[in-house]
Amino acid sequence: MAERSREYLTSTHWGTYEVKVSKGKVVALDPFSEDDDPSPIGPGIIDVMDGPSRITTPMVRKSWLDNGPGSNTNKRGLEEFVEVSWNKAIQLVADELSRVRSNFGNQTIFAGSYGWASAGRFHHAQSQLKRFLNCIGGYTGSVNTYSFAAAEVVVPHILGSFREHLDNSTSWNSIIENCELFVALGGIPLKNGQISAGGTGKHIQRNGLFSAYEAGIEFVNVSPLKSDIEHKIQADWIAIRPSTDTAFLLSLAHTLIVKNLVDIDFINKYTVGFEQFSEYLLGKQDGIPKSAEWGADICNIPEKKIIDLASAMARKKTMISVSWSLTRQDHGEQPFWAAIALASMLGQIGKPGTGLGFGYSAMNHIGLNRREMRYPAFPQGVNKVKSFIPVARISELLENPGGSFNYNGKEHIFPDTKIVWWAGGNPFHHHQDLNRLIKAWSKPDTIISNEWCWNALAQYSDIVLPCTTSLERSDLSLTPKDPYLVVMDKALEPVGEAKDDHEIFKLLAEKLGVESKFTDNKSSEEWQNWMYNRARQSAAKENVELPSWEDFKKAGWFKVPDAEKQGVMMEKFVNDPIKFPLSTPSGKIEIFSNTIANFDYNDCPGHPYWMEPLEWLGNATVNAPLHMISNQPKDKLHSQLDHGAVSQSAKINGHEQLLMNPSDAKLRGLKDRQIVQIFNARGACLAAVKIDEDVMEQVIQISTGAWMKLMDGICVNGNPNMLTPDKGTSNLAQGPIAHTCLVEVKAI
């Protein structure tokens, strides 16, 4: 490869790095010069680029190769693979696609393919897969995200949009200058703020949080984990029972009413439905006032704490931040709805530094004072197939062909899935109740995956197409969520016979007679040039001049100037609700939604509502007395690079760490660093105990992301989704409820 006049650069979801190469190997990923708080995750790829887990040739499961589609599907994950040539692999896939399309229809091809692979705008595996499938008639896909599916569906009914408000969160700068009290439900975990979808240039969450603290802002951390806010911040820790956030918020709202602290002018001008909600809070509907005493009993929080906090929130300039994790629990629609209602009652929405935020430090771009830019994505084309599933209903799709499901006011049908194709994700990380998924996974005739390493997805596939990593191809990081545009250099040649996803689908498109339709007669370089120049045109409309394609490639990166005005969420609406109404039926904040009420779901009524979750400490049993929190890891993004040195160094004897309160450890006779089994009726995994007072009693915490590896049905690496329940949040959103999970722990 030709020498460069600058260091190689690459961008990832967790940061930008300067790539050092020696003798054809990556030897270092150094922090980007612009980033003063770099993520440690990046170098985790170095030792596994060409390690023993790398897939270097196309592979086919033996029974499938010998006997064809549908053969011995119960052996997925157990059976050996056979190496085949690319010509053979492409022919096998093309033939299988033709068979299924002809005999069963394109709706029987499922390409949910939940993403997070490369941060590159062109080599976005999910987009490449979906464009290809759209060229041959389409596929069944999925909607929403594991991150906040419940909010994605319910918040548009309340505020007219979710993503618009999420991406225009009030900036940290505005908070620092104007806020007095910051109430963080689910904390402000900086480990999550390492990440931003599509690439990260400069990390800002740590500086934002610490600057807010230094400005004298008081912080309240409402979480089972004290560590959800840095100790330096000296936050008031309210150790709440997991899955009771809605009850806590309702009791705060009730306190505002009985203490006459509601901003009635804001309620009357900007909201509808407060009367129905207040009747519920006061117990006029069910005879149960949602008082501080009521909330204290459910949440295991002192009644006085609730009353004092409600009073302080009304008295001070207050920001309420609701972590995305709050949606990943049973009835996960309700905490966000209740938080919006509470913020409306305080009357501080749309004002500088106060109001409401959807998860500060959930990603790096939340609270970033950036210009709102619009850049092109790799065009996927039009999907002629209209069937879909909510993202977390994969097992039901495979188990129940022809069955029905409710979603956002309508009834839909599960198609009879014959092919599952996954590119750029790992369902054996994201999904819940993995034993159930494994059984359902045996139903389709064929599982195809584009993978670069032998994780569980590859092991449970029939055909594995080895793909490149982002360091083995050129791309560009071009995300509107971050001001840095970054050239992603090809730093080394592909390992083995690996091909990038675009090349894989180009070969398949050629075989099926749609190559020109798929490529649009453009090379990969020409596609990237086209996307960048479209971005230049879009930027010019915002009075931002991007460098030419040639100058951009030479420089390696470009930073879009910061926004001139500090961002304030919903400011336009509050300043002029007639000129800038919300996209709700009323044009206002819908504390009560007639639309949702008319869906007549018994698990999601027309206003914020407390419903007892499937599992919580209020119904714990002798067999499952502990509540397990499985949150995001510090040392990887989801399960990416779990096999790399950075992630492995954080483990104890190869096992994920399990945080446990000293009293719970003592009760079970457990010692620090001891290997234990976490279990319930759904499954089991191993972990290593870390005794820590930062987790409340009767709660344990283990990060997600450990690669599933089963021995006698137990995940020895520590994947907590062996235990989490696979149930929808409600009939409205059908989101995941991983944080609603009771377990027990024992020594092994």
The residues annotated as belonging to the active site are: 114, 116
Question: Helix/strand/coil (H, E, C) string of 464-502?
Answer: EEEECCHHHCCEEECCCCCCEEEEECCCCCCCCCCECHH
Angle between helices 501-511 and 125-135 (to 10 degrees): 10
State the Cα–Cα distance between residues 323 and 300, nearest whole angstrom.
20
Q: Which two tokens stand for residue 652?
A: 């104890």
DSSP 631: -
Residues with Cβ within 8 Å of residue 407, at least 6 apart in sequence: 153, 390, 731, 732, 733, 734
CB atoms within 10 A of CB 586: 15
What value, to the nearest 5°, has the Cα angle with vertex 327 and ends 184 and 249? Answer: 50
Strands 475-477, 484-488: pairing kind: antiparallel
Report DSSP letters for 115-168, one per residue. Answer: --S---SS--HHHHHHHHHHHTT--BEEES-TTTHHHHHHHHHHHS-SHHHHTT
Residues with Cβ within 8 Å of residue 549, at least 6 apart in sequence: 529, 532, 533
The torsion angles phi and psi of 178, rounded to 5 degrees, stand at -125, -25
| Closest to 209 (Cα-Cα) out of 222, 199, 201, 219 | 219
Q: Where are the beta strands (DSSP E) in 249-407?
A: 271-272, 318-322, 355-357, 388-390, 404-407
**Exposed (0-12), middle (13-18) or buried (19+): which is 23, by Cβ within 10 Å?**
exposed
Would you say 528 and 373 are in contact if contact means Cβ atoms under 8 Å apart? no
State the Cα–Cα distance between residues 406 and 598, nearest whole angstrom.
14
Separation of CA 97 from chain center: 30
| Closest to 306 (Cα-Cα) out of 355, 357, 233, 236 | 236
Specify the long-range contacts of residues 97-103, CB closer than 8 Å, at least 24 apart: 97/136, 97/419, 97/508, 97/512, 98/512, 99/69, 100/418, 100/419, 100/445, 100/446, 101/136, 101/137
Would you say 387 and 605 are in contact if contact means Cβ atoms under 8 Å apart? no
CB atoms within 10 A of CB 90: 19
**Exposed (0-12), middle (13-18) or buried (19+): which is 52, by Cβ within 10 Å?**
exposed
State the Cα–Cα distance between residues 656 and 248, nearest whole angstrom.
31
Q: Which two tokens stand for residue 476?
A: 């560009």
Would you say 327 and 335 are in contact if contact means Cβ atoms under 8 Å apart? yes
Length of the chain equals 748
Q: Which two tokens stand for residue 335?
A: 């905490």
Report DSSP letters for 523-555, one per residue. Answer: -HHHHHHHHHHHHHHHHHHTT--PPPHHHHHHH
Would you say 577 and 588 are in contact if contact means Cβ atoms under 8 Å apart? yes
Report DSSP letters for 350-378, one per residue. Answer: TSTT-EEES-TTSSTTTT--------PPP
| Closest to 629 (Cα-Cα) out of 743, 714, 747 | 743
Strands 446-451, 463-466: pairing kind: parallel
Strands 218-222, 236-238: pairing kind: parallel
Q: Which two tokens stand for residue 574?
A: 């509050």
Alpha carbon separation from 717 to 79, 524, 630, 651, 672 (Å, rounded)? 20, 38, 14, 9, 18
